[in-house]
Amino acid sequence: MKIRAFKQSDKDFIISLALRFMEFELMNWRDIEQTEEGQRRLAHESVSNPSPHSEMFVAEAETGELLGFVEVRPHTDLLSGIEQGFIVSIAVSTEGEGKGVGKALMLKAEQWSTEKGYKQLVLNAYMKNERAVNFYKYLNYEVEVLKMVKEL
């Protein structure tokens, strides 16, 4: 497997993984169809109109099969002003699960951040996505901020 820069021919693959971000129980107030459409829209925007400072990397098997991707960009911590790397999104295909694809993509994001001179790499994850949260904890990421929601 190799991790390489995004190519335009990867667009459909990236968009196809958009719903992987919803493979856990959503909070009751989230409309499933609206959330699915939002995930597709965000994926489409990432590949069609990327931020000028973001970069995307794709995991590709030796056979040419695409296995996952990670999108990163600069981020400034609002409280400290510290420049950080930020993982916009990361997803692994079902075919790539259990093969070290996620770990390789995370290592690529860390390498990218280090090369940019950042001392920290941050990401957001839904607390109910226990699989992802546990994966990030396994890689020594720590929970710093917790978003709280109350249905009224």
**For the domain with range 2-138, which CATH number is right: 3.40.50.2300, 3.30.70.270, 3.40.640.10, 3.40.630.30?**
3.40.630.30
- For residue 112, which of 93, 86, 135 has the smallest C-alpha distance? 86
- pLDDT band, residue 129 (cuts 50/70/90): confident
Percentage above 90 pLDDT, the chain: 64
Q: With contact defined as beta carbons under 8 Å apart, do 34 and 26 qualify?
A: no
Task: Decide if 24 contacts 128 (C-beta within 8 A).
Answer: yes
Phi-psi region of 98 (alpha: psi -120 to 50; beta: other; left: phi over 0): left
Most confident stretch, 24-28, 102-106, 145-149: 102-106
- Cβ atoms of residues 122 and 84 within 8 Å: yes
pLDDT for res 63 = 95
- For 49-95, the pLDDT digits (tens) are 878 899 999 999 999 999 999 999 999 999 999 999 999 999 999 99
